[in-house]
Amino acid sequence: MNVDTSKGNEGQKNMAIYEHIADYIIQVLIKEDVNAYAEAKLLHELLMYKLPAVVQELMDRTVAAEAKKLKKGQDINLMKEIGGINMQKRLHFRSKDQYNSFIALFFDTVDRRPELLAAVDDEEKFERFMILCIHEFRQKLEDFAIEIAQEKSRLEHKHKGYIHHKNAELPEIPTYADFIAERIEGLAE
Domain boundaries, the chain: 9-146+175-188
Percent of the chain with pLDDT over 90: 49
* Residues 13-52: tens digit of each pLDDT: 688 999 999 999 999 999 999 989 999 999 999 999 999 9
Q: Can you spell out the DSSP letters for the chain?
A: -------SHHHHHHHHHHHHHHHHHHHHHHHH-GGGGGGHHHHHHHHHHHGGGTHHHHHHHHHHHHHHHHHTTPPP-HHHHTS-HHHHHHHH-SSHHHHHHHHHHHHHHHHH-GGGGTT--SHHHHHHHHHHHHHHHHHHHHHHHHHHHHHHHHHHHHHHHHHHHH-PPPPPPPPHHHHHHHHGGGGG-
Q: pTM for the whole thing?
A: 0.84
The predicted structure's pLDDT at residue 19: 94
Determine the average pLDDT of the residues in 89-109.
85
Range from 18-32, 93-107, 132-146, 157-171 carrying the lowest mean pLDDT: 157-171
Determine the average pLDDT of the residues in 140-157.
92
